Structure 1
């Protein structure tokens, strides 16, 4: 019985082409800006997404937190959507590193109401002042949902009126672009900074990029160094990132189709799945005991994550075989009894 790993799109392994590129990578000291492979990766990302500069870092947590450090000062609030990765899964970093606190706005299917965002902005001696607005696209805990471009533009307009910067946690930005049928730069447009992850659906083993305007680059690189992100001969890793960025987006439509197939099959088995939320490569299902269900499925060779007491998540990705869903569904049926 082969194991089918639906826990996350972070479990992918580098392709043979990535391994060859890593083995033969031209390298230098990236802290001195002398690693040619890192420089090529950063230049390509900036060009693809319409920014002046990109800065390569080890993780999406680092790119998000560096953005917070660059945009805010201690004691401010950051407006974030409920369930945002920047708060939920970056273990208290916004408080411990940037010294800022979240101000939550509701976001059904990951989409915030711009008027609620406007109301959440504070500039009063009686409240912590707002320093930044942060969006997430796709929105992980909402189900991997896509924030429409017009919704992002509306929030950006609120930010401009208030004189506030806007950051996008675009860890899965290319999933959003594929689902919307647009280029990645359209999803990134209008933000002051954008974080993208190379090691999720795009398949690289390591790395994220923070897209920045030229005037923020020096400060961002200083914060990267402060947080331990100066990786020296990082071209060994960036070589795989180049392939991920060049070839990875084209493979995402398959992941999305697989997720839709899986969602339909789970519904047919009687599981509660909000099909409206299945927009990219994630499927959330309601079950009575999430941890027990995940453990029983693991024993049957299907790995998933419990995200809450009664909610599980399946994530499709490039390393799953084409017949993964047809193979997994009978095992789910067996666990359901």
Structure 2
């Protein structure tokens, strides 16, 4: 359970539940034991058997020829971009809310030297196929960059953890194939998408050329991501990984946790999804004039809360959720602080993960409902 029990100045116990993101979850006991006994070697020389096995298993799971264990999803995406966009003057097409475009320090331009042509993301994480066609540069002249890659994100972070429709992915792939352009999937939470869609991970990534997924988010590993694609793509990716400082040595210690995750952590993501939906439903049922949740948009483990009253902001909400007043225990039965991340103007985000229990969810709901009702009373008092 990801929680902390702390003592306040008043001597009372306070329970802190962390819903900022799923990256803060700690490895399971089974992962720790596997890491302790892992067989290791120098992976730069291709001599770490545990890393090799993780890469083999991951490629098999995704239906790709080969895979590469890397430090993070950000590194995996950057490597993919650098391999696909190997000449100067390349351009990629991605959604305007894409992680690679918004939340990776502009590494596409900063390190890879690649320009991004954004297309507007819809609420479901997709983008217009007509706009995609318009963005592709057909037979560019000497004044234009060269369209070299299309990136999709699944699940889509800033669109609330949406799983991309499989038929839409097939259409994107078809358009890309018309122009001989590869498609890369930023699948940081790919396994969440597979569980929500009730299909295999292999099916989710069938229509993309390359894909990465994080081990360190919902799968609970301490660190790491996997990048997969053709054998030639991974050979080139391994070289790029080295220049980025990502050459592992005895990385089997980390890869061992990844192997446990593939065996034990994918199917159980449904629990995280159910927990997120339960929180979202409790907020939705309030019919509050302060904030709202689009219940139909909650696909996986992310709850996006929109603020509809101008007097209150996501920062106000976050501060009160984290605050543990003495009188809170009367309304919630225990003094509880909730950590969450305000991610943008007018909305905030809650993310469930494997260390959040049913009891934690119930306590969170009680605290959230209490805070929303408090805000509503303040609104009435201002009239």
Q: Normalised by the shorter chain, which TM-score bucket?
A: over 0.9
1:88, 1:178 → 2: CA distance?
Answer: 26
SS in 1 for 2:94: strand
SS in 2 for 1:249: coil
Equivalent residue number for residue 224 of structure 1? 241
Equivalent residue number for residue 101 of structure 1? 115
Question: Comparing both structures, which one devotes a greater share of its residues to helix?
Answer: 1
Equivalent residue number for residue 117 of structure 1? 132
2:89, 2:371 → 1: CA distance?
Answer: 49
SS in 1 for 2:358: coil
**Residue 56 in structure 1 maps to residue 76 in structure 2:** no
Structure 2 residue corresponding to 1:280, chosen from 300, 312, 317 = 300
TM (norm. structure 2) is 0.86
1:74, 1:27 → 2: CA distance?
Answer: 38
User: Deviation of residue 169 (structure 1)?
Assistant: 0.4
Equivalent residue number for residue 152 of structure 1? 169
SS in 1 for 2:40: coil
User: Deviation of residue 217 (structure 1)?
Assistant: 2.0
How do residues 1-337 of structure 1 correspond to structure 2 at under 5 angstroms?
1-72=14-85, 73-108=87-122, 109-123=124-138, 124-125=140-141, 126-269=143-286, 270=288, 271-287=291-307, 288-300=312-324, 301-336=337-372, 337=374
> Can you give the 5+ residue segments of structure 1 that lack an aligned partner in the other structure?
none
1:261, 1:330 → 2: CA distance?
Answer: 12
User: Deviation of residue 107 (structure 1)?
Assistant: 2.4
1:205, 1:244 → 2: CA distance?
Answer: 11
Deviation readout 1:220-252 (Å, 9 max, x if unpaired): 101000101112000000000111112111111
Deviation readout 1:44-90 (Å, 9 max, x if unpaired): 00011101111000100000000000001332211101210111111
Q: Any conservation in 1 of the 2:284–2:294 contact (CA below 8 Å)?
A: no
2:193, 2:125 → 1: CA distance?
Answer: 12
Equivalent residue number for residue 6 of structure 2? none
Q: Any conservation in 2 of the 1:74–1:98 contact (CA below 8 Å)?
A: no
SS in 1 for 2:255: helix
Deviation readout 1:89-142 (Å, 9 max, x if unpaired): 111100011111211112211012222211110132243221100001110100
Aligned-residue RMSD, C-alpha: 1.2
User: Deviation of residue 335 (structure 1)?
Assistant: 2.5
TM (norm. structure 1) is 0.97
User: Deviation of residue 266 (structure 1)?
Assistant: 1.2
> Can you give the 5+ residue segments of structure 2 that lack an aligned partner in the other structure?
1-13, 325-336, 375-383
Equivalenced residues, count: 337
Q: Any conservation in 1 of the 2:68–2:226 contact (CA below 8 Å)?
A: yes
1:264, 1:106 → 2: CA distance?
Answer: 28
User: Deviation of residue 286 (structure 1)?
Assistant: 1.4
Q: Any conservation in 1 of the 2:162–2:299 contact (CA below 8 Å)?
A: yes
Higher-Rg structure is 2
2:116, 2:297 → 1: CA distance?
Answer: 25
1:17, 1:74 → 2: CA distance?
Answer: 46
1:74, 1:4 → 2: CA distance?
Answer: 47
